[in-house]
């Protein structure tokens, strides 16, 4: 498969995983104001990306289509900055600036921590 096709397929799979995660968390009744599904998707995608880029580069060096499938496709389709931005906009608009700032900081810090933990311990 060529790289373009791999990214296309991975993006579709990542998007379906993202939708499934949201439905799962809603079924577990994790509602409330905090956007848990977006946080979980961003954190998981960051950890997967860290594993591929930092712990398995030799494995994917000879397989650029597979690397693109996972990193650009699956991780790109699974994580979502647009939803993250919209949810923070809603939190600010609903008068919950503390929760919005907590969400912004938690997403950024947890995703960076995922990279550092993978780089150090995995």
Number of domains observed in the structure of the chain: 1
pLDDT at 31: 67
Q: Which residues of 19-37 are buried (b: 16+ CB within 10 A; e: fewer)?
A: eebbeebeeeeeeeebbbb
pLDDT at 19: 96
84: pLDDT strictly greater than 80: yes
**How much of the chain, in percent, has pLDDT values that exceed 90?**
70
How far is the CA of 108 from the CAs of 16, 23, 64, 115, in angstroms? Answer: 23, 23, 28, 11
Domain interval for residue 100 = 3-121
Contact call for residues 73 and 18 (beta carbons, < 8 A): no
Q: How many CA atoms lie within 13 A of 109 on its CB side?
A: 6
Q: Which helix (H) or strand (E) element contains residue 41?
A: helix 36-50
E strands, 23-120, are none
Round the average pLDDT of the chain to a whole number and report it: 91
Q: What is the pLDDT of residues 39-82, one digit of tens each?
A: 999 999 999 999 988 888 888 888 999 999 999 999 999 998 88
For residue 28 the two structure tokens come to: 């577990």
pTM for the whole structure: 0.84
């Amino acid at each position: 498969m060529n790289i373009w096709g791999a990214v296309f397929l991975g993006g579709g799979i990542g998007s379906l995983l993202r939708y499934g995660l949201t439905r799962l968390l809603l079924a577990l009744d994790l509602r409330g104001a905090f956007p848990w599904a977006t946080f979980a998707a961003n954190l998981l995608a960051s950890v997967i990306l860290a594993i591929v880029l930092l712990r398995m580069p030799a494995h994917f060096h000879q397989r650029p289509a597979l690397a693109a499938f996972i990193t650009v496709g699956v991780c790109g389709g699974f994580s979502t900055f647009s939803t993250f931005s919209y949810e923070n906009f809603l939190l600010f608009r609903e008068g919950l600036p503390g929760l919005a700032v907590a969400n912004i900081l938690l997403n950024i810090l947890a995703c960076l921590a995922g990279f550092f933990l993978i780089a150090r311990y995995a």
